[in-house]
């Protein structure tokens, strides 16, 4: 019987436009991109020039400090462009697919019977090493480290999140194989976090040598950070790694097939989508074919987000899927003036507080837009963040320690235990519209810089 | 639609207030009025893409709604007490009473808001920031804790003192140490004590003294208790309803209770502070009952919740989030000590018949210390966990 942890604090935001469980394989544009800004903690150098021929698995970017961490082309074809922004910041490397199935060769075999260094090497060469995220700091894991444990959350409790059981429905073997590989990399355990209803999951249950825990409760119960906090919090000096389920399956596939395979399933969801559903694409795919003819009519322009509405990054309609994202959310922009909006009863206004009449209907789903809903203010209201952060951490005190750059205080207050996604809900419910995630990231970067 | 026409009008004059426009000096003021009429069209650019609809304006509005019963009761009571004093026996609910009360109370409210908001607007303009909504609530609290006959010029300088020295020099809304409304009152209390205490200031017209019924006493129940006349205080039902002399908004425990329910149901006011405050007061009252020895000490401990400004203070002043304890655990201690100190000062200190104002200001100073201990406990838990692993 797996251990059950009840998460009491948090908030489930039911948004309209949840993806229907139907899978389509659309006609893709043939362009695929790897976006360096996706990868925190890596300083990437581009290895190829536009026009160069590549196959699936050819390295196209490498980290300057750890050159064995590479990012590879997901398809065979040629490099289309290398895009830079202000001050020559690398924004993306775009590859055009030729349709050929060529790829680099990797080892085919059972990871359980290999040396851990061989397993590590395979993951690195497959360009899948950045799948492993380290806590503390939420940066890409360092190959030289041996983590205390590895944590995987098999469900995502964010708004509009995809169902990983559906995404990995046919991938039970590759997921299990991926777990075997990961087990080789840690001196401790591999933890899987499940939720109610996943107990007999075809994909995630009955995998040998893993620690199962059931997490029940509102978002952020599905956040790996919250799960780590309740099982074995990260203390100063400890390192744990986290990875999402679909990336585990990609790692597993390299061992089963003996080559990298970047087939990827994503959910397209949100109130501006006419037919929210799942699509089978490849990593780094361009999203325009998915949106074509699939947007509802509206006065408000759409905001297209690679990832969740809480932590995702904004892309335009010709943008590309992020490396880690299994979801594209499309919601209306909120660039309109609301006459006396703050004073009216607000039966259609979403709020965690009970100050709008909408609190009379707690179970309804919302069509939320991107309006800030107020101006930025200093910290005034108290007790608000604590209601949506199920951790033994004082969030406001931590943020204030970051704002005054008091590193000792940040450490004492638990900065090693959180990353932006854990405090995203605090940012959503904040009365003063504080940039919580940005402040937290600046704190994490400051501590990492000072500690190195 | 009316809103569309209004929006077009605002859009037409907006460029004059933007950078380079003729009136760009007043852009904070323009932004404040625009934000009052319309929730702005700003969208999210960093972090979470969706946001809760609550903002500070909404929060303040809920507190104002919660204050409304106490305000209306205060106006009615002002009229009622006045007519009692001049010998006209009008019932509590009368149009003359409400009208009289309205005419006496409204000027105080207007002076408070005009002075306070005026200073807030000027400060925001000087700093180039958006006008903060913090004063929306303080502006209503200040009149409600004043005696009805307070001279208007005193209200103005007290409000100015509270906003400048109580808020702006610390950095504005969210940065202050002391409750601004209480600062206004305490400023007047120590500068003009004759106008803020005694037997005459609580009922309109009593200070002037024309036409007052012979032998009529305008003393508040706390005043009677302090003078040793415990037998002269009204019964509990009257105290609960609040048809007694006192500051404009503090007398009716019933009206304040309605406000407390509004604050708790909407999640705006901390029930922890209110409950622990009541417990602290009952505790201190109980100790005095055990000690005994005078009619005041032996006053049943539960009377203290209904006397003076305790109910008003614990519901509307102590719960101010900026000046209270900011940790949830801290709030229990903060409220408890306010309750204890209020009753202690009331009963034991002959110079102050009412202790709530001073107790809250004192605990405003200690709130960060209480939080410090709570946060230290959290830090120690984290360290202990790390050490055990080694």
Q: In the structure, what pLDDT confidence band is assigned to residue B390 with cuts at 50, 70 and 90? A: low
Q: Which of residues 121-150 of A touch B (CB under 8 A)?
A: none
Which of A282-291, A357-366, A389-398, B61-70 shows the lowest mean pLDDT across its residues? A357-366
Nearest Cα neighbor of A97 from A50, A30, A45 is A30
Same domain for A59 and A190, yes or no, is yes
Cα B204 vs. chain centroid, distance in angstroms?
A: 21
Q: In the structure, what pLDDT confidence band is assigned to residue B63 with cuts at 50, 70 and 90? A: very high
Please report whether residue A210 resides in a domain: yes
Q: In the structure, what pLDDT confidence band is assigned to residue A77 with cuts at 50, 70 and 90? A: very high
The per-residue pLDDT for range B185-241, each reduced to its tens digit, is 999 999 998 888 888 888 888 877 777 777 778 888 888 888 888 888 888 999 999
Integer Cα distance of A46 and A56 in angstroms? 16
Cα A449 vs. chain centroid, distance in angstroms?
A: 23
Task: For residues A61-86, give the mean pLDDT.
Answer: 95
Please report whether residue A291 resides in a domain: no
Apex B14 CA angle, B11 and B17, nearest 5: 175
Q: Does A354 touch chain B (CB under 8 A)?
A: yes
Q: In the structure, what pLDDT confidence band is assigned to residue A1 with cuts at 50, 70 and 90? A: low
Residue with tokens 């909408």: A358
- Number of domains chain A is built from: 2
Integer Cα distance of A354 and B329 in angstroms? 22
Residues 6+ apart with CB under 8 A from B191: none
The pLDDT assigned to A225 comes to 96
The pLDDT assigned to B215 comes to 75
One-letter-per-residue 3-state SS of B42-78: CECCCCCCCCCCCCHHHHHHHHHHHHHHHHHHHHHHH
| Contact yes or no for A354 and B266 at CB 8 A | yes
The pLDDT assigned to A241 comes to 97
In the predicted model, is pLDDT for residue B2 greater than 80? no
Integer Cα distance of B181 and B158 in angstroms? 9
Integer Cα distance of A189 and A182 in angstroms? 10
Please report whether residue A323 resides in a domain: no
CB A27 within 8 A of CB A289: yes
Please report whether residue A347 resides in a domain: no
**A234: closest CA of chain B, how far (Å):** 9
The pLDDT assigned to A143 comes to 95
Question: Which of A232, A257, A282 is a domain's end point?
Answer: A257
Q: Give the mutation candidate from B11, B55, B266 for the A interface (greatest A CB count, under 10 A).
A: B55
Nearest Cα neighbor of A266 from A236, A291, A242, A302 is A291
The most distant pair of C-alpha atoms in chain B lies apart, rounded to whole Å, by 83
Question: Which of A257, A282, A308 is a domain's end point?
Answer: A257
Q: Does A14 touch chain B (CB under 8 A)?
A: no
Cα B66 vs. chain centroid, distance in angstroms?
A: 11
Q: Does A339 touch chain B (CB under 8 A)?
A: yes
**A165: closest CA of chain B, how far (Å):** 26
| Contact yes or no for B53 and A341 at CB 8 A | yes
DSSP string across B85-96: HTT----SS-HH
Q: In the structure, what pLDDT confidence band is assigned to residue B104 with cuts at 50, 70 and 90? A: very high
- Across-strand partners of A211? A191
Write out the two tokens for A298: 């509206």
Nearest Cα neighbor of B303 from B195, B246, B210, B230 is B230
Please report whether residue A285 resides in a domain: no
Please report whether residue A235 resides in a domain: yes
In the predicted model, is pLDDT for residue A433 greater than 60? yes
Please report whether residue A314 resides in a domain: no
- The SS3 of residue A72 is strand
Question: Which of A210, A239, A257 is a domain's end point?
Answer: A257
CB B356 within 8 A of CB B313: yes
In the predicted model, is pLDDT for residue A230 greater than 90? yes
Q: Taking the CA of residue A39 as centre, how many other CA atoms within 13 Å lie in the half-sphere pointing to its CB?
A: 26
Write out the two tokens for A80: 């289309």
In the predicted model, is pLDDT for residue A429 greater than 60? yes
Full residue range of the structural domain in which residue A250 is found: 3-257
The per-residue pLDDT for range A86-145, each reduced to its tens digit, is 999 999 999 999 988 888 999 899 998 999 999 999 999 999 999 999 999 999 999 999
Please report whether residue A274 resides in a domain: no
Mean pLDDT of chain A: 93
The per-residue pLDDT for range B148-186, each reduced to its tens digit, is 999 999 999 999 999 999 999 998 889 999 999 999 999
Say what percent of chain B tops pLDDT 90.
60
On whether the pTM is more than 0.95, the answer is: no
Same domain for A104 and A238, yes or no, is yes
The interface pTM score, or ipTM, of the predicted complex is 0.93
Q: Does A439 touch chain B (CB under 8 A)?
A: no
Nearest to B386 among A236, A349, A413 (CB): A236
Integer Cα distance of B17 and B128 in angstroms? 12
In the predicted model, is pLDDT for residue A196 greater than 60? yes
- B14 vs B141, higher pLDDT: B141
Q: Does A362 touch chain B (CB under 8 A)?
A: no
Give the DSSP letter of residue A235.
P
The pLDDT assigned to B389 comes to 61
**A408: closest CA of chain B, how far (Å):** 11
Task: For residues A246-262, give the mean pLDDT.
Answer: 95
Mean pLDDT of chain B: 90
CB B108 within 8 A of CB B132: no
The pLDDT assigned to B130 comes to 81
Query: Would you call A117 exposed, middle or buried from its count of C-beta atoms within 10 A (0-12, 13-18, 19+)?
Result: exposed
**A120: closest CA of chain B, how far (Å):** 27
The pLDDT assigned to A332 comes to 94
Same domain for A9 and A145, yes or no, is yes
Which of A152-156, B20-24, B34-38, B341-345 shows the lowest mean pLDDT across its residues? B20-24
The per-residue pLDDT for range B106-139, each reduced to its tens digit, is 999 999 999 999 999 898 888 888 888 889 999 9
The pLDDT assigned to A399 comes to 97
| Contact yes or no for A375 and B42 at CB 8 A | yes
The pLDDT assigned to A348 comes to 86
| Contact yes or no for B50 and A310 at CB 8 A | yes
Nearest to A342 among B39, B43, B132 (CB): B39
The pLDDT assigned to A205 comes to 87
| Contact yes or no for B50 and A420 at CB 8 A | no
Per-residue burial over B359-380, b = 16 or more CB atoms within 10 Å of its CB, e = otherwise: bbbbbbebbeebbeebbeebbe
CB A217 within 8 A of CB A94: no
Same domain for A100 and A225, yes or no, is yes
Same domain for A11 and A143, yes or no, is yes
Q: Does A400 touch chain B (CB under 8 A)?
A: no
């Amino acid at each position: 019987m797996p251990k059950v942890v009840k998460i009491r604090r948090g908030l489930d935001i039911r948004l309209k436009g949840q993806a229907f469980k139907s899978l389509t394989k659309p006609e893709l544009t043939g362009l695929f991109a790897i976006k360096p800004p996706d990868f925190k903690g890596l300083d990437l150098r581009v290895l190829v020039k536009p026009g160069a021929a590549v196959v699936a698995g050819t390295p196209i970017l490498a980290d300057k400090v750890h050159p064995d961490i590479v990012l590879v082309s997901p398809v065979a074809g040629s490099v289309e462009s290398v895009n830079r922004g202000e001050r020559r910041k690398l924004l993306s490397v775009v590859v055009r697919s030729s349709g050929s199935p060529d790829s680099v060769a990797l080892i085919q075999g059972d990871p359980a019977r290999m040396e851990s260094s061989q397993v590590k090497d395979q993951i690195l060469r497959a360009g899948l090493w950045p799948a492993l995220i380290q806590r503390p700091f939420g940066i890409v894991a360092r190959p030289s480290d041996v983590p205390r444990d590895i944590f995987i959350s098999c469900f995502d409790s964010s708004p509009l999140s995809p169902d990983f059981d559906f995404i990995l429905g046919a991938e039970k073997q590759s997921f299990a194989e991926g777990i075997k590989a990961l087990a080789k990399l840690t001196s401790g355990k591999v933890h899987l976090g499940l939720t109610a209803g996943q107990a007999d999951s075809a994909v995630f249950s009955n995998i040998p040598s893993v620690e199962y825990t059931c997490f029940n409760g509102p978002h952020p119960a599905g956040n790996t950070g919250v799960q780590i906090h309740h099982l074995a919090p990260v203390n100063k000096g400890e390192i744990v790694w986290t990875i999402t389920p679909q990336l585990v399956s990609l790692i597993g596939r390299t061992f089963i097939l003996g080559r990298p395979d970047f087939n990827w399933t994503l959910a397209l969801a949100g109130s501006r989508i006419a037919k929210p559903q799942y699509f089978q694409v490849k990593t780094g795919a361009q999203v325009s074919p998915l949106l074509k003819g699939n947007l509802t009519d509206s006065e408000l322009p759409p905001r297209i987000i690679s990832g969740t509405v809480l932590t995702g990054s904004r892309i335009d309609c010709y943008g590309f899927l992020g490396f880690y994202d299994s979801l594209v959310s499309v919601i209306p922009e909120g660039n309109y003036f609301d006459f006396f909006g703050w004073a009216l009863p607000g039966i259609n206004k979403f709020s965690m507080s009970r100050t709008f009449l909408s609190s009379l209907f707690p179970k309804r789903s919302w069509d939320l837009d991107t309006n800030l809903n107020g101006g930025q203010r200093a910290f005034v209201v108290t007790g608000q963040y604590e209601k949506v952060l199920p951790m033994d951490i004082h969030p406001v005190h931590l943020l204030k320690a970051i704002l005054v750059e008091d590193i000792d205080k940040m450490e004492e207050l638990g900065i090693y235990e959180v990353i932006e996604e854990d405090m995203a809900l605090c940012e959503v419910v904040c009365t003063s519209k504080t940039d919580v995630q940005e402040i937290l990231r600046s704190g994490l970067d400051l501590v990492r810089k000072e500690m190195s | 639609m009316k809103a569309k026409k209004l929006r077009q009008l605002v859009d037409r004059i907006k460029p004059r207030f933007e950078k380079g426009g003729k009136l760009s000096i007043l852009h904070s003021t323009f932004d404040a009025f625009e934000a009052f009429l319309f929730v702005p069209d700003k969208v999210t650019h960093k972090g979470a893409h969706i946001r809760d609809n609550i903002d500070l304006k909404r929060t303040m509005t809920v507190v104002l709604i919660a204050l409304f019963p106490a305000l209306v009761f205060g106006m009615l009571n002002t009229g009622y007490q006045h007519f009692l004093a001049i010998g006209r026996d009008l019932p509590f609910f009368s149009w003359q009473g409400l009208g009289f009360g309205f005419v006496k109370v409204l000027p105080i409210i207007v002076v408070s808001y005009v002075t306070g908001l005026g200073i807030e607007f000027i400060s925001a303009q000087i700093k180039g920031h958006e006008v903060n909504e913090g004063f929306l609530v303080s502006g209503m609290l200040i009149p409600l804790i004043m005696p009805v006959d307070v001279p208007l010029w005193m209200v103005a300088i007290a409000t100015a003192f509270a906003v400048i020295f109580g808020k702006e020099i610390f950095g504005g809304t969210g940065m202050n140490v002391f409750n601004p409304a209480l600062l206004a009152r305490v400023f007047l209390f120590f500068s003009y004590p004759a106008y803020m205490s005694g037997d005459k200031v609580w009922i309109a017209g009593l200070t002037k003294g024309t036409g007052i019924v012979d032998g009529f006493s305008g003393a508040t129940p706390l005043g009677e208790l302090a003078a040793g006349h415990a037998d002269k205080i009204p019964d509990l039902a009257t105290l609960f309803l609040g048809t007694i002399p006192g500051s404009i908004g503090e007398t009716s425990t019933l009206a304040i209770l309605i406000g407390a329910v509004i604050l708790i149901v909407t999640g705006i006011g901390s029930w922890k502070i209110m409950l622990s405050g009541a417990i602290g007061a009952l505790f201190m009252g109980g100790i005095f009952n055990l000690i005994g020895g005078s009619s005041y000490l032996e006053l049943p401990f539960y009377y203290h919740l209904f006397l003076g400004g305790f109910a008003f203070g614990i519901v509307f002043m102590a719960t101010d989030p900026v000046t209270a304890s900011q940790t949830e655990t801290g709030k229990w201690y903060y409220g408890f000590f306010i309750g204890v100190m209020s009753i202690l000062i009331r009963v034991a200190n002959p110079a102050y018949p009412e202790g709530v104002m001073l107790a809250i200001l004192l605990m405003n100073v200690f709130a960060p210390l209480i939080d410090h201990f709570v946060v230290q406990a959290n830090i120690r838990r984290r360290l202990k966990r790390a050490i055990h692993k080694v």
